[in-house]
Amino acid sequence: MLQGEIISIGNELLQGRMDDTNATYISRIMNERGVKVRYRTTVADTREDIVDALQRAASRADIVTATGGLGPTVDDLTAAAVADFLGVDMFRDDAVDAHVRTFHEMLGVPCTDNALEQALVPDGCHVIMNPVGTAPCFVVRADRARMAFFPGVPREMTAMLGASMDYMLQGLAHGVSATRTLRLFGIGESTLQPLLPMDIITSRNPSFSFLPVDYQIHLRLTARADSEEQSTAMLDATAARIYEIVGEYIYGQDETTLEQAVFDRLRAAGLTLALAESITGGLVASRLVSVPGMSQVLLGSVTAYSEAAKMKYLNVSEELLARYGPVSEQVTIAMARGALDTLGADMALATTGNAGPEAQGKAEVGQVYAALVFRDPAREPVTFSRRIFRRREDCRGLTAQFAIDMLRRFA
């Protein structure tokens, strides 16, 4: 299997002033093209550091990409460092020179001498023109490695990455890689891991990884084979085994969000929804309406934070509030029934709770409730109750996720 390395060049990355989104994107593309990324290195804008990183990469990787340091300013030293590393001279590429001049003419700005320095590239390299900027990508060979160098601007790198990968992979047997992500909510890593067979967790092909994301778990499967059909079949077989064990917690695959899964379910069933929110203060509605077309399902939302608002807009009785307190299963069900009647939906979801930092009446900090009620008299309300021992905003966010997941499970 081909080994890959990604080098990110820039003081701003090391100083934490910029996120390295380039490396994340390149990692995904490399793996999809059958190159296993083994190393990701970040170095400063100095010739010495860049040369050192290239020497190490050339000794251990087949495919290397480097981003950054190819612009028109004094700290753009990558091309010169590559020439030092290879022991070659720099030369002016006439096609790049003309491209830089034309680009500046199109923008209506002067083309300065330092801008034209972007046409200086290491002797013997293969140049790939930049369709959305000025600095080109260039590809070189060193020992076992084929190396591509890009400007650090993400849209420029992205525009040239495909062509550079095609060029570097010519004549190399690299197979086909396929990835699938199973998205789960409602179960923790420590509970999930013992449920899964050890041969799945420790497998190298398909490889397996846990990715905690926003209080969810993403299970990433990556298969490598000689063809797309073979790698897809490997993913199908492993995913099927996981579904058999923990399918109730899997709400979707790859880019499917929890909200999208809920929308698809409600729309397919022809059901409409109303919301009544207290602790979440509109978070449930906000997350749901991030899905295009949600107006086909969601009729409206009532944010009733105070007891007075619960009584006025959701018809929660004063007696019920006094007897059980606003943070209670009984009041949450009453809020949902009020939204159901007010908005005329097929079902209604409500949330209450105490996110802290202090106890309020009968409600301990972190105590939350959610309730789902139905217009169909044959269906009983579904309720959720939990103590969430986290920061105030995390408590509210988790309550919203649990409430949305109730729709996926019980709608």
Per-residue pLDDT of the chain in tens (411 residues, 90 and over written 9): 789 999 999 999 999 999 999 999 999 899 888 888 999 999 999 999 999 999 999 999 999 999 999 988 777 899 999 999 999 999 999 999 999 999 888 889 889 888 898 999 999 999 999 999 999 999 999 988 999 999 999 999 999 999 999 999 988 866 777 889 999 999 988 899 999 999 999 998 898 998 888 889 999 998 888 888 999 999 999 999 999 999 999 999 999 999 999 999 999 999 999 999 999 999 999 999 999 999 999 999 999 999 999 999 999 999 999 999 999 999 999 999 999 999 999 999 999 999 988 777 778 899 999 999 999 999 999 999 999 988 899 999 999 999 999 999 998
Calpha distance 235→243 (Å, rounded)? 12
For residue 206, whether the previous peptide bond is cis, meaning omega lies within 30 degrees of 0, is: yes
Taking the CB of residue 143, how many other CB atoms lie within 10 A of it?
Answer: 12
Calpha distance 400→396 (Å, rounded)? 6
Report the CATH number of the 2-169 domain.
Answer: 3.40.980.10
Calpha distance 344→198 (Å, rounded)? 49
**What residue spans in the chain does CATH classification 3.30.70.2860 cover?**
176-253
Both tokens of 38, joined, read 């083994």
Amino acid identity at 269? A
Calpha distance 2→172 (Å, rounded)? 8
Protein fold of 258-410:
Maf protein (3.90.950)
Q: What pLDDT, on the 0 to 100 scale, is given for residue 106?
A: 87
**Helix, strand or coil for residue 153?**
coil
**What residue spans in the chain does CATH classification 3.40.980.10 cover?**
2-169
**What residue spans in the chain does CATH classification 3.90.950.20 cover?**
258-410
Could you write out the three-class secondary structure of 4-27? EEEEEECHHHHCCCCCCHHHHHHH
Q: Where are the alpha helices (DSSP H) in 89-246?
A: 94-107, 113-116, 154-169, 189-192, 198-201, 228-246
Calpha distance 374→86 (Å, rounded)? 71
Both tokens of 136, joined, read 């080109």
Q: How far is CA 191 from CA 188, 220, 249, in A?
A: 5, 17, 12
Q: Would you list the DSSP string of 176-197?
A: EEEEEEEEE-S--HHHHGGGS-
Kind of pairing, strands 347-353 and 2-9? unpaired
Reply yes or no on domain 176-253 having CATH 3.60.15.10.
Answer: no
pTM across the whole model = 0.71
CA torsion sign for 71, 72, 74, 78 is positive
**Helix, strand or coil for residue 274?**
strand
* Maximum distance among all Cα pairs of the chain, rounded to whole angstroms: 86
Both tokens of 53, joined, read 């990183």
Nearest in space to 86 (alpha carbons), one of 105, 66, 58: 58
Both tokens of 19, joined, read 């996120």
Q: Which residue has the tokens 């004063």?
A: 318
Q: Which residue has the tokens 């002016």?
A: 92
Q: What pLDDT, on the 0 to 100 scale, is given for residue 172?
A: 84
